[in-house]
């Protein structure tokens, strides 16, 4: 079983975000720990993305940005056919799926938006959407795994899923994690919102692995006492230790829920808008809007509202009940093993 050859195809970096890079890297590591040794990544992205995956111990075939289907097909033809090929990228359209199916025994698409027509063998969507309508126009043989049970939360988070969280009487520290892309607008608006609480709240910003020196300087000018990090290895621990979080509408909102962290959502990509709206409806986690349209006052109002201990407890409990964080185990057993 562990002899299976696993390929991963993805795209990431400052423009397309780092979430799928980190998630696939973690899932590949999960597979490796279960004995899979023949793992290879095919990646569009800057050198920082390639270096990150290399540092994780994976071989990477670097693809040109906006590589054509013909060029990509030619590259895949030089490698042996994989047992499983897992794809996570926004532009995994029907024609790319058709092409990739030629080079694997099982094509699996991870897609949080479900905004394509599918001919892959399996599609995994670990988010709640207004509807899953594209299922109806896809290949009838395509199997769909839908909903929070299949959210690929890194196993490190699961440690905290079953622990009892303690709550401080008021918010004294805030974790801000919007993802590793160029989300300066969002981070700066949060900084201005928190400037009103300089005497009472210590903010911790996690900006991701991209070069963010200019942004760090701007945040420091607004919040001299802020703690600012690039990429971190134990963000799950940071979620657990904070009183409150301000998170993106992608994976971070779900990670906050798994760790029972009271949080507010800001979408930093267009596609996060429906994801944020649906999650807010289901859990009550406040959604303040898309980063270009939200104001510091919108964010500040939510922080003031959630100073209430009872409201934070209620928010924490409700969000935590919708997701258990064990998606890695479910997806691995259904997709790979």
pLDDT in tens, 255-293: 999 999 999 999 999 989 999 999 999 999 999 999 999
Asked if the model's pLDDT at residue 1 lies above 80, the reply is no
Confidence bin at 202 (pLDDT 50/70/90): very high
pLDDT at residue number 22: 87
Give the predicted TM-score (pTM) of the model. 0.89
Q: How far is CA 148 from CA 157, 199, 253, 321, in A?
A: 15, 38, 12, 11
User: Averaged over 301-330, what is the pLDDT?
Assistant: 94
Q: Which residues contact 265 (CB under 8 A, 6 or more apart)?
A: 247, 248, 249, 253, 276, 279, 280, 285, 286, 287, 288
Question: What fold does the segment set 6-146 form as a domain?
Answer: Rossmann fold (3.40.50)
Whether the CB-CB separation of 86 and 8 falls below 8 Å is answered with yes
Specify the CATH number for 157-320; select among 3.40.50.1580, 3.30.530.20, 3.40.50.2000, 3.40.50.1010. 3.40.50.2000
pLDDT at residue number 244: 97
Whether the CB-CB separation of 228 and 159 falls below 8 Å is answered with no
Of 296, 165, 275, residue with least CA distance to 222: 296
pLDDT at residue number 183: 92
Enumerate the domain spans of the chain: 6-146, 157-320
Query: 135-164: per-residue pLDDT in tens?
Result: 999 999 999 999 999 999 888 898 999 899
pLDDT at residue number 2: 62
Q: Residue 328 phi/psi, 5° resolution?
A: -55, -50
Of 227, 258, 255, 260, residue with least CA distance to 243: 260
Query: 9-56: per-residue pLDDT in tens?
Result: 999 987 787 888 989 999 999 999 999 999 999 999 999 999 999 999
Biggest CA–CA distance in the chain, Å, is: 60
Whether the CB-CB separation of 8 and 41 falls below 8 Å is answered with yes
* Six-digit token string for 46: 């800057």
Query: 68-94: per-residue pLDDT in tens?
Result: 999 999 999 999 999 999 999 888 999
Query: 220-245: per-residue pLDDT in tens?
Result: 999 999 999 988 889 999 999 999 99
Q: Note whether 6-146 and 157-320 share their fold.
A: yes
Compute the distance between CA of residue 283 and CA of residue 277 in angstroms, rounded to an integer.
10
Neighbours of 35 (CB within 10 A): 10
Whether the CB-CB separation of 261 and 171 falls below 8 Å is answered with no
């Amino acid at each position: 079983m562990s002899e299976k050859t696993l390929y991963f195809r993805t795209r990431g970096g400052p423009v397309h975000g780092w979430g799928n890079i980190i998630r696939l890297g973690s899932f590949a590591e999960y597979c490796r720990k279960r004995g899979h040794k023949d793992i290879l990544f095919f990646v569009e992205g800057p050198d920082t993305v390639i270096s990150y995956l290399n540092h994780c111990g994976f071989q990477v075939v670097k693809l040109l940005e906006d590589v054509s289907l013909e060029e990509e097909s030619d590259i895949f033809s030089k490698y042996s056919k994989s047992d499983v090929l897992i794809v996570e990228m926004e532009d995994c359209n029907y024609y790319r799926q058709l092409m990739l199916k030629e080079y694997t025994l099982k094509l699996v698409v991870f897609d949080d938006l479900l905004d394509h027509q599918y001919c892959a063998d399996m599609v995994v969507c670990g988010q709640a959407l207004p509807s899953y309508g594209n299922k109806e126009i896809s290949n009838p043989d395509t199997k769909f795994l839908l909903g929070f049970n299949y959210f690929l939360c890194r196993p490190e988070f699961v440690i905290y899923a079953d622990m009892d969280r303690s709550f401080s009487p008021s918010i004294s520290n805030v974790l801000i994690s919007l993802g590793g892309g160029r989300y300066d607008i969002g981070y700066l608006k949060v900084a201005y919102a928190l400037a009103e609480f300089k005497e009472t709240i210590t903010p911790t910003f996690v900006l991701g692995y991209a070069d963010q020196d200019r942004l760090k300087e701007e945040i420091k000018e607004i919040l001299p006492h802020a703690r600012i990090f690039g990429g971190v290895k134990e963000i799950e621990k940071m979620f657990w230790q904070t009183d409150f979080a301000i998170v993106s509408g992608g994976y971070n909102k779900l990670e906050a829920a798994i760790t029972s962290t009271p949080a507010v959502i800001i979408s930093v990509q267009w596609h996060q808008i429906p994801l944020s709206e649906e999650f807010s409806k289901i859990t009550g986690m406040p959604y303040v809007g898309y980063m270009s349209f939200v104001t510091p006052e919108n964010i500040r109002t939510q922080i003031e509202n959630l100073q209430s201990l009872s409201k934070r407890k209620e928010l924490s409990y409700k969000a935590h009940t919708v997701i258990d964080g064990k998606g890695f185990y479910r997806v691995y057993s259904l997709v790979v093993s």
